[in-house]
Structure 1
Amino acid sequence: MQDTFLQFCMEQGLFDSHQKVLLALSGGLDSMTLVDLLYTYRDQLDINLVLVHINHHQRLESDQEEAGIRALATEKKIPLRVAHFSGPFSESRARKFRYDFFKKVMEEENCSALVTAHHADDQAETVLMRLIRGARPRHLRGIPLVQPFGPGSLIRPLLPFQKKDFPDTFHYEDESNHSLSYFRNRVRHRYLPLLEEENPQVSTALIRLGKDLDHWHQALKELTKDLDPQNVIQYQEQTNSVQFYLLEEYLTSFPDLQLNRAQFEQLHAILTKKANTQQALKNGYEVYKDYEFFEIRKISRKADDQAFEDLLQFGTMKIVGSYCFSFGIEPKEPYIESVNLPTTNPVCLRSPKTGDRILVNGHHRKISRLFINQKIPLKRRKSAVLIEQDQEILAIPEIAISDLSKDLKNDIMKGKLYIQKKDR
């Protein structure tokens, strides 16, 4: 296996861009085989090793195994970092603890890659586990050979090899690997053997299924690379199948969102059927959608201080939001609009409120309805500036000017407000 392992690493260029790598060493046959291989071929691969071990304190032998791993590191003169898990144990908590520590050590030791000992048997088990749990096809692709991780990459150089191919290397046997309390162990010792009675090559078939789905996914990714999933107009022009793919691809940017199938379909319905909307999803996220754009984002704290109100005196100027307002002073630089005012009384520049109305085309219209009719995006609605004088709304820059202001053009006009657009 040794020569095949080196050949595979060289052909794939797994370590071409890495000089210092962190190897996760549990003490089991998989990781002890990997440390022997990488140590043996460290010169050919041009890498320096750093070892990392997690003592989960779940077995009486844990401390003894840690001592043995420390002795191994000393013998081979490889730096070793050890962490101790504490608190209530669960597979998910332990996994998070491990990988958080791995990231920390990578940064502190200046390692550009983490190397783990996942192999072909793990690959088949993972695909079957995800299939049983009802995972989406994109998640049935199994374990990738290389993927981004922490400040660099996560590499699994044993992935093409089966455990039966490993040499008889000294290792520690974890009795918990035979406990049917764990889902992976049930898959390994119960479900896969039953399936092998029907098809002795079922593990190979599962691995191929993962590879085939990975090829399908990569093809779809390449074919849709020019589509922007956040462009609502472009998104809605696609078929349902393409929309589902684009949305799934976009959601990979939010690994802690974890939408189930029903929630995913609800989100898809929002994007295809709702106009302007802003709705909470889960885990502190919300979806924002207007007529042209949508995004998923963390929910910001709702606060009254988002509302604003400023007074502008005659003969002065003030910047509010993305506009500069000059009252009675015509600016030397170009301006986008001017609003006629009946008096020189102070002008109130404020955010919209519920029930606001403006006189347009002879009718007092709700500003909220005006926004909808003109398809003003939610974000722009919230940042809109209302121009009010003597409790009458006279204009909304770039959106509407009241009849009251327009009528002053040929009437008695006491003041004029000039509006410039500021880049912010």
Structure 2
Amino acid sequence: MEEKFLKVTQEGHFFDKHKSVLIAVSGGKDSMNLLHLLYKYQDILDIRIGVAHVNHQQRRESAEEEVYIKEWSERRSIPFHVSYFEGTFSEEAARTMRYDFFAEVMKQHDYTALVTAHHADDQAETIFMRLIRGSRLAHLSGMRVVQPFASGELIRPLLPFPKSELMNVPHFEDESNYSSLYFRNRIRNDYLPLLVNENPQFTSALLHVGKESELLHQALRDLICHIDVTNLQDFQAQTVAVRYFLLQHYLEEFPELQLTRDQFDQVLNILEKRANYQHHLKGDYYLIKDYQRFAITKIQPKTDRQEEEYVIESEGVFQHGSFIFSLNEPLEQPDQIIYLQVHQPILLRGRKAGDRILLHSIHKKIRRYFIDQKIPQKLRDTAIVIEQEGKIYGIANMVASDLSKSAKNDIIKATLYIKMKE
């Protein structure tokens, strides 16, 4: 087990970019195996380890487990971090509290990876639970070995190993694991054994379903990477089947937005129609759609600082917001120059939900551009988008799109000079 673990970990390059690793340790057989393995191989893997433990305070043995893990860590000069669950206990509340605690420890102590002891049996249980709950095919891929988490990554190096391969290291048995009150326990202790009795390979079959689902969706992502999903012309040009998975892929950008099947079908139906539309989804999420594009966004209330739209239809000098604009008449020392098409109105407006700008051949959300460039909120609120024929050519005094750069090479072009007002 030890040598196999080291081989899988090295070949998977799980810790290549990590130096400080936080291990979630409950005291059970799974997590004590993980702790033993990472402690033994930390020099070979070139990592520094720390231990995080949550005392859920639900059993008499909880205090004993905490003391044991703390002393085990301290004898080996391993940092030990502990927190205590408070409030009304439930599986979901406990899980949320644990991962919030892990994220906070990572932030405070500069850990770049959280490592948990989920193994192949846990994976099969997770896939089966999601199947029973009616999860989408995309979610049947189960847990990923490595995924983004908090300020770094969440790594599950034991996922390739069934529980039967784990070593018999000192650990605690949690009697609550046999309680039928919890859904996962019923899966583990009742449902799966019954089905394994019918088909001894049932657990392996579940894992194959998860792996095939993961490969299928990765293949889809590879095939649709060139499609601008929120461009309605591109979206509606696809087959019904492709549109279905394009929308699923887009929704992955909003992990907090869990649409029901009916809600998903409703959004799909809206996108297949041509009319402008604004539709409340759930919580503070909205679907915004016009004739060219759609977006899912959290709508921010309009403020007095947002400017009304302004249309430039002829040459001359104009004032709008905090800027002076001049079409085809050079300004002295302009702050920015935008090139556009001739004989077409130019719209100056505030930004809208779902706005995208073409930068370096990629359609990038303006919201994401603001975040990446760390644009202050005040400037975001007063930003002026320069649009022509439904396409964004730039943002005043911030950036010009690839469209402007292309227009610059045209023999006949319109030139918009921009300067901040004194």
Q: Shorter-chain-normalised TM-score: which range?
A: 0.7 to 0.9
Note the C-alpha offset of 1:232: 1.1
The 3 A distance-change label for structure 1 pair 8 and 307 is closer
The 3 A distance-change label for structure 1 pair 200 and 303 is same
Letter in 2 for 1:15: F
The 3 A distance-change label for structure 1 pair 303 and 43 is closer
Distance in 1 between residues matched to 2:256 and 2:389, nearest whole Å: 31
RMSD (Å) for aligned C-alpha atoms? 3.2
Distance in 2 between residues matched to 1:298 and 1:216, nearest whole Å: 30
Note the C-alpha offset of 1:9: 0.9
Distance in 1 between residues matched to 2:115 and 2:32, nearest whole Å: 12
Note the C-alpha offset of 1:61: 1.6
Letter in 1 for 2:256: D
Instruction: Name the residue aligned to 1:243.
Output: 243
Q: Which aligned pairs between 1:263-302 and structure 2 lie closer than 5 A?
A: 263-301=263-301
Q: Which aligned pairs between 1:6-85 and structure 2 lie closer than 5 A?
A: 6-85=6-85
Letter in 2 for 1:216: L
Note the C-alpha offset of 1:422: 4.9
Distance in 1 between residues matched to 2:389 and 2:132, nearest whole Å: 46
Count, aligned residues: 347
Asked if 2 retains the 8 angstrom alpha-carbon contact of 1:256 and 1:283, the reply is no
Structure 2: segments with no counterpart, 5+ residues? 311-316, 332-338, 351-387, 393-414
The TM-score with structure 2 as length reference comes to 0.75
Note the C-alpha offset of 1:182: 0.6
Instruction: Name the residue aligned to 2:231.
Output: 231
Distance in 1 between residues matched to 2:389 and 2:89, nearest whole Å: 51
Distance in 2 between residues matched to 1:322 and 1:234, nearest whole Å: 36
The 3 A distance-change label for structure 1 pair 323 and 29 is same
Instruction: Name the residue aligned to 1:320.
Output: 320
Letter in 2 for 1:32: M
Q: Looking at CA atoms only, which structure, 1 or 2, has the larger radius of gyration?
A: 1
Tell me the secondary structure at the aligned position of residue 53 of structure 2: strand
The TM-score with structure 1 as length reference comes to 0.75
Note the C-alpha offset of 1:318: 6.2
Q: Deviations over 1:300-330 (max 9, x none)?
A: 22567767599xxxxxx8633598589xxx9
Instruction: Name the residue aligned to 1:190.
Output: 190
Letter in 1 for 2:288: Y
Structure 1: segments with no counterpart, 5+ residues? 311-316, 340-349, 352-374, 380-418
Tell me the secondary structure at the aligned position of residue 272 of structure 2: helix
Distance in 2 between residues matched to 1:224 and 1:307, nearest whole Å: 37
Q: Deviations over 1:175-216 (max 9, x none)?
A: 111111111001001110110111011001100110011111
Q: Which aligned pairs between 1:114-129 and structure 2 lie closer than 5 A?
A: 114-129=114-129
Asked if 2 retains the 8 angstrom alpha-carbon contact of 1:112 and 1:152, the reply is yes
**Ranges of 4+ aligned residues in structure 1 off by more than 3 Å:** 302-310, 321-326, 330-337, 419-424
The 3 A distance-change label for structure 1 pair 129 and 323 is same
Distance in 1 between residues matched to 2:126 and 2:293, nearest whole Å: 37
The 3 A distance-change label for structure 1 pair 6 and 423 is farther
Asked if 2 retains the 8 angstrom alpha-carbon contact of 1:147 and 1:154, the reply is yes
Distance in 1 between residues matched to 2:93 and 2:32, nearest whole Å: 24
Tell me the secondary structure at the aligned position of residue 281 of structure 1: strand
Q: Deviations over 1:142-171 (max 9, x none)?
A: 111111111111111111111111111111
Instruction: Name the residue aligned to 2:108.
Output: 108
Letter in 1 for 2:9: C
Distance in 1 between residues matched to 2:178 and 2:220, nearest whole Å: 40
Note the C-alpha offset of 1:420: 6.9
Asked if 1 retains the 8 angstrom alpha-carbon contact of 2:329 and 2:417, the reply is no
Instruction: Name the residue aligned to 1:370.
Output: none
Q: Deviations over 1:23-82 (max 9, x none)?
A: 000111100011001111111111110110111111122122111111111112100111
Note the C-alpha offset of 1:133: 0.4
Note the C-alpha offset of 1:246: 1.1
Q: Which aligned pairs between 1:135-174 and structure 2 lie closer than 5 A?
A: 135-174=135-174
Instruction: Name the residue aligned to 2:367.
Output: none
Letter in 1 for 2:202: V
The 3 A distance-change label for structure 1 pair 99 and 423 is farther
Instruction: Name the residue aligned to 2:179.
Output: 179
Letter in 1 for 2:58: Q
Letter in 1 for 2:214: D
Distance in 1 between residues matched to 2:309 and 2:13, nearest whole Å: 61
Tell me the secondary structure at the aligned position of residue 54 of structure 1: strand
Asked if 1 retains the 8 angstrom alpha-carbon contact of 2:325 and 2:418, the reply is no
Distance in 2 between residues matched to 1:332 and 1:225, nearest whole Å: 41
Query: Which stretch shifts more, 119-128 or 65-74?
Result: 65-74
Letter in 2 for 1:4: K
Tell me the secondary structure at the aligned position of residue 78 of structure 2: coil
